[in-house]
């Protein structure tokens, strides 16, 4: 479901999350931040796979289950996780029904 580049990026993201989890104290604020980061990782997996497509009318990447199937796309959309405004920033700040 992921290209080698996407899979590598997702694996690095999970490793960074695990490092943050190990170093975080167990305060309410830290737990809330970890939940927020976990949701961001989940959304990145859902929007950065080989089954996603680009929606030109809205200028966004559709999610994996936008079409409710596992069909293969010869040309799929990719997200740049570290680019400002389009990676994790874009996933967390983008309105859901835009």
For the chain, the domain total comes to: 1
Q: How many helices (H) and strands (E) does the chain have?
A: 3, 2
Residue 13 in any domain: the answer is yes
Reported as type and span, the H/E element at residue 55 is strand 54-55
Domain hosting 26: range is 4-92
Enter the pTM of the model.
0.70
Residue 97 in any domain: the answer is no
Residue 98 in any domain: the answer is no
Q: Which residue has the higher pLDDT, 78 or 53?
A: 53
Is residue 69 left, alpha or beta, with left meaning phi > 0 and alpha meaning psi from -120 to 50?
beta
Residue 23 in any domain: the answer is yes
Residue 32 in any domain: the answer is yes
pLDDT in tens, 8-56: 888 988 999 999 999 988 899 999 999 989 998 998 888 888 888 888 8
Return the DSSP state at 65: G
Residue 51 in any domain: the answer is yes
* Burial (CB count within 10 angstroms: exposed 0-12, middle 13-18, buried 19+), residue 74: exposed
């Amino acid at each position: 479901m992921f290209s080698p580049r996407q899979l590598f990026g997702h694996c690095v993201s999970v490793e960074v999350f695990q490092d943050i989890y190990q170093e975080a104290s167990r305060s309410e604020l830290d737990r809330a931040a970890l939940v927020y980061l976990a949701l961001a990782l989940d959304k990145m997996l859902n929007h950065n796979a080989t089954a996603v497509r680009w929606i030109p009318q809205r200028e966004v990447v559709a999610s994996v289950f936008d079409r409710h199937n596992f069909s293969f796309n010869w040309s799929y959309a990719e997200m740049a996780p570290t680019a400002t405004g389009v990676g994790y920033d874009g996933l967390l700040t983008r309105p859901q029904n835009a």
